[in-house]
Amino acid sequence: MTKALQWGGRFSAPPDAALLAFGSSLDDDLVLAPFDVQTSQAHVAALAGGKIIDAPTASALHAALTKVAAEIEAAQFGAFAQTSGAEDVHGAIDARVRELAPEAGALLHAGRSRNDQVATTLALYAHERALQGAQRARSIARHLLSRASEELDAQTLLAATTHMQPAQPVLLAFWLQAAAEPFVRAARRFTAAAAFAKEACPLGSGAVAGSTLSLDRAAACTRLGFDHPSRNAMDAIGTRDAVLDVAQACARVLADASRVAAEIVLWATPGFGYVRLGDASSTGSSLMPQKRNPDVFELVRGCASEVAGLYFGALTSTVGMPLSYHRDLQETKRLGILACERTLAALDAFERALRDTSFNRGAMNAHAGDGYTVATDIADALIAAGVSARDAHALVGATVRAAEEAGRPLDTNDLAALAREAGLNAFNAPLDAAASVSAKVTEGSTSPQAVRAGLASMATELELP
């Protein structure tokens, strides 16, 4: 048996090398190395607190683990792990500790199973990645908030769409606020996932039933910053809720990012010309010299689908699995880690590209009224004058049809004609995009006052931890 394996005494022949390689997760879980060291340090505290090891042994183990942590930080540990013969990063760290402190290292795994070791390490990883996800979501929201404030001052107008058809005029600041809101919610989801990951500490649960050794679980729990030890060993070693919660938050935030990215890709086309992508975040064509491609935003769209699949795969790998630990959970771990790492990279790229994107205010203002986007305001004005909603809708719809056939915009003559048809002396209604925006009165609308209030509220929320 290879010395790096943490089992083998009951076997008379070594494992098939190909099957051992098939079961190895080293390529996937090296990212867990610093968190495994934290888990192992806490286990030493539990062993020492329970008088299972003496102070010199605990000191030797802490020193060896500190050395391993330094090697991980210096990117030196990976080479050892890959050649150690260990099945996973957890076994590789155990092997390195036994190499650094042979006598003490032989006691490191006392009372511990890879089951509770992996569960605890994954919870620590999930907590850290959730905090990073929250930070990146807030950073994106703050950037969008800053841009919204600039465009609010400039009073930049935009033809908002539904079904990708012109709908109503809005402030560009309103669109930017709408783009920021999902990232504020994403930050809340990540923060909640981080808190959940640190609720119950699995360490000390052993393989499935706890331990007959007097492990000081409270000491381990305190060292790692968990709220309390887990209360059922069988559940603790068999759940991956912490990493699944973070992976779900990852899938959600990238779905949100993909929607913003899709609109920017569209706006960058010559048909719109609403945005210009900076040189630092654009790519060219190997054949067509004129191309300026929005590759980063397209890749973010692709990543959203990828991470959604990773999350679904991680979740469904637990479906139908009996209670306790099963090796299928290695797939949950792998897919959850991939979802987290891919998401953090995509969010970083998304924000960098956003910061390198400029708005064409002139083009947006020029087209804010295209497609008869003030039609709803005219219908609302008729309703305010006493016309029923159904009649107002029909009257304005017919007026738009006539103007469209004539190839002209709506004007004051149309308002006069509508008044006559509705039996009114006269009525006032916005006929341009700026007037439409200013006419809004409801909370949460696109009026400058409502947008300013919304941005202030968002800024206050983003200041919270």
Please state the pTM of the whole predicted model: 0.93
Residue indicated by tokens 């941005």 = 455
DSSP 210-270: --SS---HHHHHHHHT-SEE-S-HHHHHH--HHHHHHHHHHHHHHHHHHHHHHHHHHHTST
pLDDT tens by residue, 24-38: 666 778 999 999 999
**How many beta carbons lie within 10 A of that of residue 309, not counting itself?**
14
CA–CA dist 331, 314 (Å, integer)? 7
CA–CA dist 374, 159 (Å, integer)? 10
Closest CA to 346 of 388, 306, 303: 303
Which of the listed CATH numbers 1.10.150.120, 1.20.200.10, 1.10.3720.10, 1.10.20.60 matches domain 115-135+172-365? 1.20.200.10
Output phi, psi for 2, to 5 deg: -65, 140
pLDDT at 292: 92
Assigned CATH class of 22-110: mainly alpha
DSSP 74: T
Residue 146 CB contacts under 8 Å (≥ 6 apart), including other chains: none
Cite the DSSP H helix spans in 281-360: 295-316, 329-355
pLDDT at 1: 43
pLDDT tens by residue, 13-26: 677 667 555 656 66
**How many beta carbons lie within 10 A of that of residue 361, not counting itself?**
16
Instruction: Give residue 255's Cα distance to chain centre.
Output: 9
pLDDT tens by residue, 349-370: 999 999 999 999 999 999 999 9
Annotated catalytic residues are 163, 285
Residue 331 CB contacts under 8 Å (≥ 6 apart), including other chains: 313, 314, 317
Closest CA to 315 of 390, 399, 249: 249
Where along the chain do its domains lie?
A: 22-110, 115-135+172-365, 367-462
Cite the DSSP H helix spans in 101-240: 102-105, 114-154, 172-197, 217-224, 233-238
Residue indicated by tokens 């953090």 = 344
First-to-last CA distance in the chain? 50
Ranges of the chain whose pLDDT falls below 50: 1
Both tokens of 32, joined, read 């867990």
